[in-house]
Amino acid sequence: MLYLLTKNRNKYEEIAELCKASNLELLMLPDDKIELQADTLEEVARYAAEQAYSKHNKPVIVDDSGLFIDALNGFPGVYTSYVKKTIDSKGILRLMDGVSNRAAYFKTVIAYADSDRIELFEGIVRGMIADSVHSGRDFGFDNIFIPEGYNKTFSELSIEEKNSISHRARAFNSFLSFYKGLVYK
Amino acid sequence: MLYLLTKNRNKYEEIAELCKASNLELLMLPDDKIELQADTLEEVARYAAEQAYSKHNKPVIVDDSGLFIDALNGFPGVYTSYVKKTIDSKGILRLMDGVSNRAAYFKTVIAYADSDRIELFEGIVRGMIADSVHSGRDFGFDNIFIPEGYNKTFSELSIEEKNSISHRARAFNSFLSFYKGLVYK
């Protein structure tokens, strides 16, 4: 049995769906994720998975995501949700005002922990920071991020379209390749 | 015996000095502080002290500080050092450009843990965000913070003058009052 550590049912359902497509059943483990302050998503996800495994003794995955802006030395990075809650998309645009290098990427890291191992998987989508707040879903910094190869922000794509290219989907697909090998070998 | 969890010798010496003035000996415990992502300094300091106590089994204090800006919903708050490393004082001034409410405060929380208890102590200095980056020591956001009752930034005060009014000194004095009661009773 495989568990996803999250208290967010929408997130659980989105990912359970991805797993189902690979014939894997995913259960929800609704407990707090213990999030470290650290420089990288890898450290955050690894620690949260270790703590969740040692508390529950069940194979578990934990994911962590962030937006990394080149011209801001990777800010908001690991602290993306806090920055969203405080200065929001408008604050990011202020920091990027007049900055010509708009390159940025979204990244997800998934940590898998069981009795034998901790493994990390990543998914990245490169793109650029828009000049203004775009319309569409107000989720994270989706309304100011234009993925490479598109002329719309994440917030203006349909959910299906976003999920098909998102950093989270990429990280999960990478995890699923590994996990199927583990289960079936 | 009382230990300060820090790998920073300057910080240790500054605080050991404060303790000496109260006839208390402070030892240095040079290990990593396990810092949570959380909304408050209290949660960060409490968790770090719990983890340090359960690892080392020694009475220990841990401190955590941040700058909280009213007009930015408390940003950079708990993540002050990360924000310093990435967007720095100039980034804060950009976010505050044209903002008339410049009120902000620096806060330190100290957590003390021993076999019986965890206790928290706080120290706060109110003030305002300057309009430009001032001269002086480049430490934290001292170069853009003007403490109440002064017309200079923290960075322009002498170290002694800053220490006499600082949030950290206030929090330590509050801790010392408690700790002396504990030791001498």
Residue range A14-60, pLDDT digits in tens:
889 888 888 889 999 999 999 999 999 999 999 999 999 999 999 99
**DSSP summary character for residue A35:** P
B120-172 tens-digit pLDDT = 999 999 999 999 999 998 889 999 999 999 999 999 999 889 988 999 999 99
**DSSP summary character for residue B27:** E
* Number of residues that this document lists for chain B: 185
Query: Residue A185 — very low, low, confident or very high, per pLDDT cuts 50/70/90?
Result: low
For this complex, say whether ipTM is above 0.85: no
Flag whether pLDDT at A183 surpasses 90. no
Query: Which residues, 6 or more positions from B168, have their beta carbon under 8 angstroms from its beta carbon?
Result: B15, B63, B65, B108, B123
Query: Residue B185 — very low, low, confident or very high, per pLDDT cuts 50/70/90?
Result: low
Give the Cα separation of B135 and B133 in Å (integer). Answer: 7
Please say whether the beta carbons of A66 and B79 come within 8 A.
no
Beta-bridge partners for A124: A107
Which of B47, B75, B105, B184 shows the shortest CA–CA distance to A81?
B75
**Minimum-distance CB partner of B37 among A36, A91, A95:** A36
Picking from A70, A86, A92, A94 by the largest number of B CB atoms within 10 A of its own CB, the best residue to mutate is: A86
pTM of the model: 0.84
Flag whether pLDDT at B49 surpasses 80. yes
Query: Residue A180 — very low, low, confident or very high, per pLDDT cuts 50/70/90?
Result: confident
Per the listing, tokens 């578990």 go with: A60
pLDDT of residue B85: 93
Planar angle of CA A1, A33, A46, nearest 5 degrees: 75
C-alpha gyration radius of chain B: 17
Bridge-based pairing state of the strands B76-77 and B103-113 = unpaired
Tell me whether residue A61 is exposed, middle or buried, using C-beta atoms within 10 angstroms of its C-beta: 0 to 12, 13 to 18, 19 or more.
buried
| Chain B partners within 8 Å of A38 (Cβ) | 35
pLDDT of residue B181: 85
Q: Tell me the nearest-neighbour CA distance from B109 into chain A, angstroms.
A: 16
Q: Do A83 and B94 touch (CB under 8 A)?
A: no
Does the CB of B97 have a partner CB in chain A at under 8 Å?
A: yes
Domains along the sequence of chain A with CATH: 2-184 (3.90.950.10)
Max CA pair span of chain B: 54
